[in-house]
A and B are shown apart, each in its own frame.
Chain A
Amino acid sequence: MMRTFLRHSQDSLIRLGVLCVILLTVALVSQLEAGQERIKLERPVMMDSNGPGSELFVLDASLRLHELRLMQNNLQQYGSVPLPNGFAPADMTYASSAGQESLLIAGTESGLGVVVSYSLDGRPLKTWKFRNICSGIDFAPNTHSAYVATSDSNEIYQLDLRGAEITYVTRIENASKLGPVAFDGARRRIYVADVASGRIYEYSAATKTSKVMVTGFSAPTALAFDPETNRLFIADPGRRGIFTVDTRSTKPVAVELAPNSLKAPYGLALISENRLAVADYGANAVLVFSLKGELLFRFPSPD
């Protein structure tokens, strides 16, 4: 009698538990969906990830900074914060220095170049001011610094993230309008795109010389360097594609990755598990590719 009562009670408790779990899941999913609606991406412009890692930071056309998290085969929006009015961002990079994670955003404010360091929840931490227009930025982890390109003077500067110092690095002769920057820490090479002439320049910090690495782009607006494969990824909305270049090659050639799958690729970032996220402004979506160019998924999903 007692045993039967106990078994019944146990069954009832299990049922109740299952019901609670189901209800909680439903509530959680609806909350997440509601959240997604509230903080909708409005044309992604630029992006970077923590690593390449599983967190993706995307700045959209309405100047909202979105944090997306990589799940198994999709992206989930985690939060979004607006950037202050009056700041015109040009490029961004994730930085982790002295235990502080941040996003460095290069751009212009009141006609002058600035780099602003933001905490991951969108609080401005530090500002570096320039006399020229800042157009590209990439983080150099081994030196706790960032390299910044200027589009009106075609110069490259180094920022000390632990201090306030800005050091002049070089001026790229013959460049028309420098844009995005990518840094190869192992070989101390800086890759910088010339948005106006469609060239990618390579600057060697060791020899202090620069050269044209590859040409034939329309308007290269984003770069990402993969230290694992020594490949440089280039987004070119003018040619509506993503290209990759083997930087170790003696005669580097741009090879198109995933032809005919993009409308206006504005930004890109390498993410975990050898994947490449692309901010497609024209498609109003973030597309994730394998490094072989296979489209894995997109956010928001088309359905």
Chain B
Amino acid sequence: MAAYVRAILATVRTPRLCGLLLTLIIPAARTLAQPASPQLSLDSVNVRQEGVVSFSTLSVGADPRSDFPSPRFLLGQTDDQSFRLYVDVDSIQQVRFNAFTFTVYLANATSAGRGAYKFQITGNPTGSFRDAPVRVSFHVKTGSSSIAGGILMPVYNATKTDLLVAEKQSEPSYVSVSGSTPLQMRLGNAADTLPVAVTQVAISEDCPKCWTRITSAVNEKSPLLIDPGMTSNLPINLLPNSVPALLQGALVLKSDVPHDSLSIVITYHTLPGGADKKQTILTPVRFGPGLFGLALALCGGITLGLAARYLLTGKLGKDNERSMHAIFAAVVFGLIAEFVGILLTAYGSSKLVLFGLDIDPRQLFPAFILAILVSGGSAVVSWTKELFGRT
């Protein structure tokens, strides 16, 4: 036995076997010397006293990635700058049960370019806060030491709905039936939140036959971006179906009563990575005949007014007034009355009241009546009053 051991020791002393042992020992020693994977934890964060987000961390393991370009990766670091934390913005996704997940990479600052440790984070919000950028504290634990750090990153809450504020309309929007009318809807995003991208606009109407086409240039490929604390105009193009639209509004004379109501459903999400949300905005509209239609109504009204005056008094104008002068005066005063009426009702707070009815001079029928009364003069007005007085 002793001879056997002596023979082995003699063999060990040979240079070939020493070399073999060295090749076995060196990689093993390197492996043993390699530091253990750092542990990462993210602290719960209070979002403006309106809610809390807690985080759970799942270690995925070492990752060869060493390049973390901005803006895809958000950067944070430990207080002693020994570790850098990168949030992969492209990985953010909203999941069911009001949670969101994202991938982070933890890289050792001293061994930059040698890969990183990958973690999958799940954020669990509670409360009623809006999606917002917040500073999240994190801890990196290596061996017995724990190093604190911080990162500014977005947090989300699916329960908070209606992130956008639509400017309230004081009166129905005017839509001309003689062509397409652009409608600008003002949408605001609250300050200290995340930017919002409107990606889809769907519109439904109470009177479908009144419309030929309602479109918006905003879609997923060309979204409308609204920065925090800012407002933007959502463009909508309205093309009414002339005759049904005019008929729809023909009997609704009061200027504050809408002819139709549009339900504008906008789909949007916060950037980056927010969940799709839908918000419905109701927009009342009033149809109007447009310039050409108004001109026709005025001409018709003036003609009828003059004809009525002639029938009632036997002449077109006052005593000794020439017919041409009377016609010209009727046209001029009819135009002035219509113009002033539109100006006062559309841009001021005045109302145009005819026979106790609050009317809108931009509408076909009121414009027609106004022109009859102006061109017909006192004879037609008296006759009408007498007629209504009798009935």
Q: Which residues of A contact B (CB under 8 A)?
A: 43, 45-46, 61-62, 90-91, 135, 151, 176-177, 179, 195-198, 216-219, 221-222, 237-239, 264, 266-267, 282
Say whether A264 contacts B95, CB under 8 Å.
yes
Q: By the criterion CB–CB under 8 Å, are A61 and B276 in contact?
A: yes
Does B238 belong to the interface (CB within 8 Å)?
no
Known: A61-B276, A196-B56. A179 touches B120 (CB 8 A): no
The chain B residues found within 8 Å of chain A, CB to CB, are 54, 56, 58, 93, 95-97, 99, 101, 120, 122, 124, 276, 278
Q: List residues of chain B with CB within 8 A of the CB of A264.
A: 93, 95
Which single residue of chain B is at the shortest CB-CB distance from A90?
Answer: B97
Bound: A240/B330 CA distance, A: 77
- Residues of chain A contacted by B58 (CB below 8 angstroms): 198, 216-218, 238-239
How far is A218 from B103 in the complex, measured between Cα atoms in Å? 10
Query: 26 pairs across A/B with beta carbons < 8 Å?
Result: A45-B96, A62-B278, A90-B96, A90-B97, A176-B54, A176-B124, A177-B97, A177-B99, A195-B95, A195-B96, A195-B122, A196-B56, A196-B99, A196-B122, A197-B56, A198-B56, A198-B58, A218-B101, A218-B122, A221-B96, A237-B93, A238-B58, A238-B93, A238-B120, A266-B96, A282-B93
Cβ-neighbour of A219 out of B54, B99, B276 (below 8 A)? B99
Query: A71 to nearest B CB, angstroms?
Result: 28
Are the CB atoms of B97 and A195 closer together than 8 Å? yes
- Which single residue of chain A is at the shortest CB-CB distance from B58? A218
Chain A positions within 8 Å of B95 at CB level? 195, 219, 221, 237-238, 264, 266
- Main SS at interface, chain B: strand
Chain B residues with CB below 8 A from A218, complex form: 58, 101, 120, 122
Across the interface, name the chain B residue whose C-beta is closest to A178.
Answer: B97
Expressed in whole angstroms, the minimum distance between the Cβ of A150 and any Cβ of chain B is: 11
Complex CA–CA separation, A266 to B275 (angstroms): 14
In the bound complex, residues from chain B placing their C-beta under 8 Å from that of A196 are 54, 56, 99, 122, 124
Residues of A within 8 A of B99 (CB): 177, 195-196, 219
For the complex, what is the distance from the CA of A216 to the CA of B58, rounded to whole Å?
Answer: 7
| A264–B92 CA distance with the chains assembled, in angstroms | 11
Residues of the A chain whose Cβ atoms lie less than 8 Å from the Cβ of B93: 237-238, 264, 282
Which 4 A-B pairs give the minimum distances between C-beta atoms? A238-B101, A221-B96, A196-B124, A218-B120
CA–CA, A183 and B124, complex, Å: 25
The residue in chain B whose Cβ has the minimal distance to the Cβ of A193 is B97
Partner of A179, one of B54, B97, B278: B97
Beyond A238-B120, A266-B96, 19 extra complex contacts between A and B, CB < 8 Å? A45-B96, A62-B278, A176-B56, A176-B124, A195-B97, A196-B124, A198-B58, A198-B122, A216-B58, A217-B58, A218-B122, A219-B97, A219-B122, A221-B96, A238-B58, A238-B95, A238-B122, A239-B120, A266-B95
A266 to B120, CA, bound (A): 17
What is the bound-complex CA distance between A216 and B119, given in angstroms?
A: 12
What is the minimal beta-carbon distance from B50 to any residue of chain A, in angstroms? Answer: 15
Taking the nearest CB of chain A, how far is it from the CB of B291, in angstroms?
Answer: 40
Q: How far is the CB of B104 from chain A (nearest CB, A)?
A: 12
Q: Find chain B residues with CB under 8 A from A217 CB.
A: 58
Using A198-B58, A216-B58, A237-B101 as known contacts, say yes or no to A179 and B122 having CB atoms under 8 A apart: no
Which of B97, B101, B276 is close to A151, meaning CB atoms less than 8 Å apart?
B97
Q: Which residue of A lies closest to B158 (CB)?
A: A88
Once bound together, how far apart are the Cα atoms of A129 and B95, in whole Å?
Answer: 25
Smallest CB separation, A155 vs chain B (Å): 15
Assess the B124–A177 pair: CB atoms within 8 A: yes
Flag if B124 contacts A179 (CB, 8 Å): no
Alpha-carbon distance between A243 and B122 when the two chains are bound, in angstroms: 18
Most A-side CB within 10 Å, residue of B97, B101, B124: B97
Asked if residues A221 and B97 are in contact (CB atoms below 8 Å), the reply is yes
Across the interface, name the chain B residue whose C-beta is closest to A222.
Answer: B96
Cα–Cα, bound, A132→B128 (Å): 16
CB A196 to nearest CB in B, in angstroms, measures 4
Question: Cβ of B96 and Cβ of A179 under 8 Å apart?
Answer: yes
- Specify the chain B residue showing the minimal Cβ separation from A111: B159
A92 to B318, CA, bound (A): 82
Chain A: CB-nearest residue to B128: A111
Q: In this complex, what residue of B is CB-closest to A43?
A: B276
Which residues of A lie under 8 Å from residue B97 when comparing CB positions? Answer: 90, 135, 151, 177, 179, 195, 219, 221
In the complex with contacts A176-B56, A196-B56, A197-B56, A46-B120 CB distance below 8 A: no
Least Cβ–Cβ distance between A64 and chain B, in angstroms = 13
Q: How far is the CB of A269 from chain B (nearest CB, A)?
A: 14
Minimum C-beta distance from A259 to chain B (A): 13
Instruction: Closest A residue to B126 by CB, please name it.
Output: A152
Residues of B within 8 A of A195 (CB): 95-97, 99, 122, 124
CB distance from A79 to the nearest CB of B (A): 21
Residues of chain B with a CB closer than 8 A to A198's CB:
56, 58, 122
Would you give the shortest CB distance from A267 to chain B, in whole angstroms?
8
Q: How far is the CA of A218 from the CA of B96 in the complex (A)?
A: 12
Q: How far is the CA of A47 from the CA of B247 in the complex (A)?
A: 47
A249 to B57, CA, bound (A): 26
How far does the alpha carbon of A198 sit from the alpha carbon of B60 in the complex, in Å? 13
A211 to chain B, nearest CB (A): 19
Please name all residues of chain B whose beta carbon is closer than 8 Å to the beta carbon of A135 when the two chains form the complex.
Answer: 97
